[in-house]
Structure 1
Amino acid sequence: MKIRILSLACVMTAAALLAACTAVYKNSDACEQLMRSKLAEKSSDTLKIANRGVGIGGSRVVVEGSIEHVPTASEVAAVAASSVGAVSAASAVSAGGASGVSGADALSLKPAKPKKVVQPAAAECTFHGSTLNAFNWLAPARLAAPADENHGEAAQ
């Protein structure tokens, strides 16, 4: 009889611990998905997750990663146009083209292949059980709003 009670107690304890662990993973997954959807609302940049930190039984989750931005063709063209204009202006100012780059040479320069811009990103979610209480961007600054504007923003 004692063995049955002990076995039953062990099974119940294992089930309770397993239920608590799954809540932690569900909350961290929910926060990551919310972070991805909030970024998708603002831009088409790529989010790469590096770390998920969970504290206090899943009630607070911090997701860290990076946002990769590949400049669009229009952004590259704007940068190229401004650099060609600067080179043309510099060659016009120099005496007799002493800079070594004429206006025609500047126009024939090919723009460099656009490089990815990578910036750190982090978001914090707070939960009550499995219900989201608040979502806040911690980084980058362009997504992180003052606490009074972004506080308490829940998933809908």
Structure 2
Amino acid sequence: MKIRILSIACVTTAAALLAACTTGSRNSGACEQLMRSKLAATSSDTLKVAHRAAAIRGSRVVVEGSIEHVRTASEVAATMPASAALAASAPGGIAGTRAVTAATAASGVEASSKKPIQPKTVSLPAAAECTFHGEDLDVFRWLAPAKLATPPDQAASEAAG
């Protein structure tokens, strides 16, 4: 009789522990998917997840990673020095040749060594926090980057309204 009760208690405990573990895993997966969908709604950048952490039986989840942003040629050109931008955008012909020559003389680089403007990938750190009540999402908020993160006061007022 004691062996049967002990066996039932062990199986029940194992099932309860397994259920708690899967809740944390499901919640962290749900938070990652929500993070991806929120990013997709605001930009075409790519999210690369590096780490998911669940605490307190999955009631709080933090997802960390990076946002890969491919800078367009116009964004790269906007950050170039004025002389290099002038050389890269100069039209052909005699007037264009003079502008290129003047720009390269100012920068000390020959026109033949100029490379076309290439798009560059910029990696921004990203993190989001989700809080759950069981398996129901209570709050989602960005922690990083700053352009997506909102102050806690504003996030609370948005959730209430």
TM-score, normalization by structure 1? 0.79
Name the % identity.
Answer: 66
1:63-82 equivalences in 2 (<5 Å): 63-76=63-76
Structure 2 partner of 1:151: 156
Gaps of 5+ in 1: none
Distance 2:151 2:108 in 1: 50
Describe the SS at the equivalent of 2:12.
Answer: helix
Q: How far has the Cα of 1:54 moved from its partner?
A: 1.2
Match of 1:137 among 104, 120, 142: 142
Structure 2 partner of 1:23: 23
Aligned residue pairs total 148
Q: How far has the Cα of 1:149 moved from its partner?
A: 2.6
Structure 2 partner of 1:125: 130
Distance 1:59 1:69 in 2: 31
Match of 1:91 among 102, 118, 130: 102
Q: How far has the Cα of 1:114 moved from its partner?
A: 2.1
Match of 1:115 among 116, 120, 137: 120
Distance 2:22 2:106 in 1: 70
Distance 1:32 1:141 in 2: 18
- The aligned amino acid for 2:26 is K
TM-score, normalization by structure 2? 0.77
Distance 1:153 1:33 in 2: 21
Distance 1:15 1:135 in 2: 29
Alpha carbons of 1:130 and 1:48: their partners in 2 closer, same or farther (altered >3 Å)? same
Q: How far has the Cα of 1:71 moved from its partner?
A: 1.6
Structure 1 partner of 2:32: 32
Distance 1:34 1:46 in 2: 14
Contact 1:138–1:144 under 8 Å retained in 2: yes
- The aligned amino acid for 2:25 is Y
Q: RMSD between aligned alpha carbons?
A: 3.0
Structure 1 partner of 2:92: none
Q: How far has the Cα of 1:100 moved from its partner?
A: 4.3
Describe the SS at the equivalent of 1:61.
Answer: strand
